[in-house]
Amino acid sequence: MKQYSIKHHVNMETQQETKTRLLWRTEAIYKKLDTIYGTQGLIMKASKFDAIELMSSPVLQERVLALSRILKKNPTLNDRFAENQIPALLDELEELLIENFARRKVENELEQRIQQRIEEKYNDYIRDIKLEVIKEQKSSPENARTLKKLGKLEKMEYTRLNRSALDILRPTCLEEIIGQDKAVKALISRLNNPYPQHIILYGPPGVGKTTCARLALEMVKGSPQSAFCEEAPFIEVDGTTLRWDPRESTNPLLGSVHDPIYQGARRELAEEGIPEPKLGLVSEAHGGILFIDELGDMDPILQNKLLKVLEDKRVFFESSYYDPHDERIPQYIKQMFEQGVPADFVLIGATTREREDISPAFRSRCMEIFFEPLTREHIKRIVNMSATKLQINMESSVSDIISQYCCDGRGANKILVDAFAIALNETQQQEATVEVRQEHVYEAIQNSRLSTCCLQRASDEAEIGKIFGVGAFAYQGRLIELEAVAFPAEHPGEGSIRFNETVGSMAKDSVFNAASVLRQDSGENLKDYDLHINFIGGGRVDGPSAGAAIYLAILSAIKKKPLRQDVAITGELALQGKVKAVGALHEKIYGARQAGIKKMLIPAENGKDIAQSPPGMEIIPIKYINEAYKYVFVE
């Protein structure tokens, strides 16, 4: 027992001696830091890295932790370590201290050399020295409170959340842009040549216009037949957010002049009364591409100013403070005022508006490329590709359900991500891998209050007085469901016509055209009937393209002949019975195809607008309305 007590006493003395040595080493590091930075400087550094309280702690581990934060310049260190780890940590801190001391010594020697050079060239640097003296006389703006806030800001820099799922799902190559093969090919060909042209991209939102423009430039950079070099910039801006002052005091797109009094040029220029031009995005895009999203929503006056830059390929600045004879003006400012600044770039504008809404001056200077609406098959491919990127397991029916509720890739990805979040947070979810099922998708759809894209669907059953026309809006086509019912008038020649009040005057005129053609071809007078024509679902019909459909619905109602419900027709009806050409034909065919239409009758004048019939649908051009009878009426 006595021998054990002696050994225990010796161990206690050894541990105490070790702890004392660690305390000495720790105090030695603190004294050296005080020598390097000074007492006030050391306190400021400790405040900056949230180490004030730890420095004054009686606990050795906390004092060592304070040294770690100061020397490693990291206020977020919170590691707790055992006493046996302190020697190794002090070794590391001593190395950092030696490195800081060496760096400080080199900096001091460099400062001495700079001071010596300043003294040698006193006459050249006298003004700068005076300014430095004035600055040195001022008290430092930093204190413990401000440095603590700075430390908090730096600590916040270490906190990061994961990227947005939509950012991860954004296409990274042209092969991932689904359903836009023609548009991608057209865009590449217009950029990958010695004479690239300005371009306007039309199409519905969420189909890849912006992403395609970004990726297209990367593809043609450095190509032998391309005008773009490897360093060609891609400058992107949203036209809806561009704000400018008509007085030209600010213009982020074209650039502006900072006058020495009102806007405040740089200090050395303002003191001399010299205006300073500030370059805009058109100059940053020099030699590359300026991409303006939502071009149609840009301020019209700003559009006209941009047109001037496109013509001149330069930006010119003006200021009443500029004196070309002032010798104090730097040469680069003189050149900017007198010669302008180069702004030779290719403009790519994207818009969801109709082409008629874009300035004719812009359209005349730009090539036009149209992005197609996405089909259900395209949406399915996008959903499957996104699930692979996010490593999501899902039932085979999920992509089909999402395709019924979305017409664009961005919207489809939002539903998929929402359904995945719901599946991930189920209380009973115990599986290692999460599976997205039908019920998750429907819950996400219900939460967003979405409805199916196609409210009208084709049918195999024929009906009397009911037919499908086709309309288009914002590069999306949809079926227009028309129905008509006719009753013999109580008194011949005194019948009435009832029509949707909200449809518009153009559609009502189509009814009168149909009445004239009907009387001319069959001798029937609509005044002998009480006729009710209804556009199911309401809405406004802006153009006359529903004229042929209105005529067939009226004829079916009067003759009691059933119409096929898997056939749609578009075209303006002329008084001679001709079916005249219409616009937005591609969008209308898309809408009919989405709704399951098998045959679509179009004006013969539009026949060359379509290269070939899309899969699963037959396109039939007709010149006169009576040519449609054999396709729409059931014998």
Residues involved in catalysis? 545, 588
Secondary structure class of 204 (helix, strand, coil)? coil
Q: Measured between alpha carbons, how far is residue 625 from residues 468, 583, 601, 604 in Å? A: 15, 18, 10, 11
Contacts of 595 (CB under 8 A, 6+ apart): 454, 456, 457, 458, 468, 478, 479, 568
CA 278 – CA 295 distance, rounded (Å): 23
Angle between helices 438-447 and 409-424 (to 10 degrees): 110
Q: How far is CA 324 from the centre of its chain?
A: 44
Counts of helices then strands in the chain (DSSP H, E): 22, 22
CA 341 – CA 288 distance, rounded (Å): 15
Q: Name the burial class of residue 623, with classes exposed (0-12), middle (13-18) and buried (19+) by CB atoms within 10 angstroms of its CB.
A: middle
Secondary structure class of 235 (helix, strand, coil)? strand
> DSSP string covering 329-373, please?
S-HHHHHHHHH-EE---EEEEEESS-GGGS-HHHHHHEEEEEPPP
Secondary structure class of 606 (helix, strand, coil)? helix
- Neighbour tally for 456: CB within 10 Å: 20
CA 239 – CA 251 distance, rounded (Å): 13
CA 310 – CA 364 distance, rounded (Å): 12
CA 258 – CA 248 distance, rounded (Å): 10
Q: Name the burial class of residue 250, with classes exposed (0-12), middle (13-18) and buried (19+) by CB atoms within 10 angstroms of its CB.
A: middle
- Neighbour tally for 334: CB within 10 Å: 13
Length of the chain: 635
What the block records as the tokens of 281 is 């995005």
> DSSP string covering 238-258, please?
EGGG----TTSS--TTTEEEE
Pairing of the two strands 198-202 and 346-351: parallel
CA 391 – CA 381 distance, rounded (Å): 15
Q: Are the beta carbons of 345 and 234 closer than 8 angstroms?
A: no
Q: Are the beta carbons of 621 and 604 closer than 8 angstroms?
A: yes
